[in-house]
Amino acid sequence: MIEYSATYIMFLGGNTNGILRDAEVFFGKIESIILIVRDNDMLMPPNGLVGTPVSAFHADKSIFYVIIGNGGTTAQQIPVLAALVAEGCSFEVYDINKGNYALLWHYSGKTVQ
């Protein structure tokens, strides 16, 4: 299990609950989640989660983000990644699947690794 002191970003899609369950296998209980939804999204967030529209997302350089890259659409993902890079935030992007995970991108706020 990987344990981070981080804010997690997920993207609302058809299997958000399943992706969250899979992510918690690797990261432990995830307490701080920003669930990104499309502006005017008709899909409702799962119970207990509040959606943040793409246009309302504001990156905070003082926060380390762990992004669960599964779910949602590129219309949700690309603007969030662009905002994080523009603000100089540090983050990691993961692909989560049952039984495994892959680190896709580590960004330190200045250099791509």
pLDDT in tens, 42-55: 999 998 899 999 99
Name the pTM for this structure.
0.91
DSSP state of 9: E
For residues 42 and 19, what is the distance between their CA atoms, to the nearest angstrom? 19
pLDDT in tens, 55-112: 999 999 999 999 999 999 999 999 999 999 999 999 999 999 888 899 999 999 875 5
Which band of pLDDT confidence, cut at 50, 70 and 90, is reported for residue 14? very high
Q: Where are the beta strands (DSSP E) in the chain?
A: 7-11, 33-37, 51-53, 64-68, 90-97, 100-107
